[in-house]
Amino acid sequence: MTVVLPPPRGSVAAAHAVVPFARDLARHGDRLAVVDGAERWTYRELAQRVGATAVRLGSGRKLVLVGAGNDATSLVTYLAALAAGHVALLAPPAQADTVAAAYDPDAVLLPGGRLDVRRDGSAHELHPDLALLMPTSGSTGAPKLARLSHENVQANAESIVSFLGIRDTDRAVTTLPMHYVYGLSVVNTHLLRGAAVVLTDLSVADACFWDLFRAEGATTLAGVPLTFDLLDRVGFAGMRLPRLRYVTQAGGRLDPAHVRRYAELGRRGGWDLVVMYGQTEATARMAYLPPSLAADHPSAVGVPIPGGSFTLAPAPEATSPDVGELVYHGPNVMLGYATSPADLALGRTVTALHTGDLARRTGGLYEIVGRRSRFVKIAGLRVDLDHVEAALTRPGVVVRCTGTDGDLLVAVDGAEPAAVREEIAGRFGLPVRAVTAAAVTVAETPRLASGKVDHPALGALVRAAASASAPAAAPDAAGPLPERLRSLYADLLGRPGATLDSTFTGLGGDSLSYVEVSIRLEDELGAVPANWHVTPIRELAAAPAVATRGRWRIRRVETGVALRALAIVGVVGTHAGLFTLLGGAHVLVAAAGFGFARFRLTAADRVTRLRQQAVSVARIVVPSVAWIGGVVLLTDQYGPLNVLLLNGLFGPPSWTSDWHFWFVEVLVYILVVLAALLAVPFVDRLERRFPFAFPVVLLGAGLLGRYEVVDLGVPHTMPVFWLFAFGWAAARASAWWQRAGLTVVLAATVPGFFGNSPRELAIVAGAALLVWVATVPCPAPLHRVVGALAGGSLYIYLTHWQVYPRLVDVHPALAVVASLSAGVALWWLAGVVSGLGARWRAGRTAAGTVAGRV
């Protein structure tokens, strides 16, 4: 039985036209509609929330501004406006204030999700057909909005559902923002059909996106050309996505070679590639390329969508008789543009859409061959080059623009090119890395015989003038021994009372501190023995030094240290989209188990062991809670569960940004549980009696969680205790047959863990190194760098979530370097603070002793 909720009391739906699919959400009943983090709403629940928001909007027809993020509140407010007959104005959140100042909306969805209804009615005359206002080139060029009608929105959604064959069992994960018409069409079409939408702001370059994609059983993926570049980086071709049915592409021309390659990938993987063509002025789509034709006609945009048609109009710019301006006709063509609030009263001023694109028709398929007007597409957005020039040119400063899709080229005279790049990014919402600016004297601007600017030549001039440089660095020093080593231990471990008979483990050293200590020891000794961590300082100082001369001499670095450095670089580099090296976090889990066995399970008595384990947990928990708490105070990115490191136990089941710190949480859970287990005298004796068999048994128990035979109670971490236990067993393996057995177990159990062969291979390779290789060679100049990265790995992991997103649009490499540097700097600062605290405590103790004697 179909259930349709009536228009909410107090709404204007009964008096004005509405968008049918937004009004009739409840007819899909208890099917899953929306997933947003922990929120999972059926269509009935979504309809109730939409109805409640429509009531809040009131009875007078209004202009409703939504700074549209990919979140449930934005979606509900947008749908409430469409369902109740209001006019929705969608804008990027960063530009909502600018749009509000220009259009004076009657209701605004404020940051944080509060709906501010400013008037009972509207300050504007709103045409009865008007339903939706979408930024077109106005978001990055001339200040225009496309005026879309109820029929435009409904008709285009129905057409897309038809040619894509969207099913009510489909599930789409958002890859594009809702304020971008392509991203909005993904939402509209799935809601029209009764399918589910998973809302997220995660990038396809983020491994967490793919965890979410698999966990939610997503069936469709939408992308602009930049998306496909990122897919190449993250190893999409090797991913196993069994529920994926089709991949769509729009937002600019995708290179024909890419079209062919992804069409072939889809053929092998059992999914379709659907290349589409559209503009905001046509609500979303105008054409699509049937998947069966993609490999043979990769340059074509295809055929008109159902209900639409094309004609070719004469164009002076056409270079051949069969080329003309592409003109689109259909029920999804906008009413017209709005450049001011007065235009909201206008009816239809456009009957056919002149796209500005030059095209030809061959064999029934349309192919875009050029552009009439000066627009380029950057990150899927149309940029009006003339408007950018006019906006940036002022007395004493002249700017000229040219470019191609994905690359805006700017010639600057009278200003600093870097400042112009930043201004373009800030004013027009473009990624800085997509803007190439250079100081080029405008008087020398190349021109055609007609006197017009020669834009191809100007572009070549800008590219040639753009340049960069890099600085260098300086060396450090050294000096004599036993007391120096004692001082080194005292400073780095915060133990001023260290003596020449102290050992690293005896002073409470753990896997977080052994990196820097071992690196500094190698600086002093040239090389350190395999058992240095249990060797008294006096004996280390007496050992013969290993000569290591020459700038490019090779040093040996402990495998655990090298893996930690490589893994954290892999994690940050992959998240920032610089390259793809998945599996780093899971290698770190194995390395943590390896370090736990070496440094926490010493010959000390049970109580001392427990005290040292508590210190180790605190060294993870304290900086983690401090950092996450600081982020929560300054932003709304996380919540109390993150601060308390309890998200893994009580957080949302779906993968969201709340899961950023899963690695830290799981490591803390493991260490706390093991501390409790080893506090039992019988278990403590058992571990000492069977140092290798004990972790092997735990490895077997962990595999029950890995294969989901038992539920470990920590969702979405793909339970990793077995990898920790593996690292523990690797540290205890002394015979070749023990190492061989562990390697066989590793090779047999990691494949299938993610469904991503390169990622699994990286985990196998990294963990196997722990088993078989004690140290690895490292060029001396990189020795300290590796040590700093490994030692600061926890701090890098904590801080990189707040660093790289702010710089990745400048350049992924800068984002990675900044993330690593910030984490290492914070690690160094924490060490300084810890050392000062230790000295202060030592001073207090000494003062107390003296006072007691007096």
Residue-level pLDDT at 616: 85
Residues 523, 478: contact at Cβ < 8 Å?
A: yes
Name the superfamily (CATH) of residues 381-461.
ANL, C-terminal domain (3.30.300.30)
Residue-level pLDDT at 516: 62
DSSP secondary-structure letter at 424? Answer: H
Residue 125, sorted as left (phi over 0), alpha (psi -120 to 50) or beta, turns out to be beta
List pLDDT tens digits, range 322-331: 889 999 999 9
**427 by DSSP, 3-state: which?**
helix
Residue-level pLDDT at 479: 39
List the chain residues with pLDDT less than 50: 1-10, 14, 138-142, 449-450, 468-479, 547-552, 842-854
**Burial status of residue 483 (CB atoms within 10 A of its CB: 0-12, 13-18, 19 or more):** exposed
**Taking the CA atoms of the chain, what radius of gyration do you get in angstroms?**
31
Domain boundaries, the chain: 1-24+42-126, 381-461, 482-834
Tokens matching residue 251? 């937002």
- b/e code 32-58 from CB counts within 10 Å (16+ = b): bbbbbbeebbbbbbbbbbbbebbeebb
Q: What are phi and psi of 822, to 5 degrees?
A: -65, -45
pTM, full prediction: 0.58
List pLDDT tens digits, range 413-431: 888 887 887 788 777 767 6
Residue-level pLDDT at 710: 78
**Burial status of residue 140 (CB atoms within 10 A of its CB: 0-12, 13-18, 19 or more):** buried
Q: Name every residue whose Cβ is closer than 8 Å to that of residue 303 and which is 6 or more positions away in sequence.
A: 287, 288, 289, 290, 364, 365, 366
Residue-level pLDDT at 582: 84
Rounded CA-CA distance 757/743 in Å is 17
Q: Name every residue whose Cβ is closer than 8 Å to that of residue 642 and which is 6 or more positions away in sequence.
A: 628, 632, 651, 658, 660, 661
- b/e code 223-245 from CB counts within 10 Å (16+ = b): bbbbbbbbbebbbbeebebeebb
Residue-level pLDDT at 4: 40
Say which residue the tokens 């800085």 belong to: 432
Nearest to 92 by CA among 115, 116, 69: 69
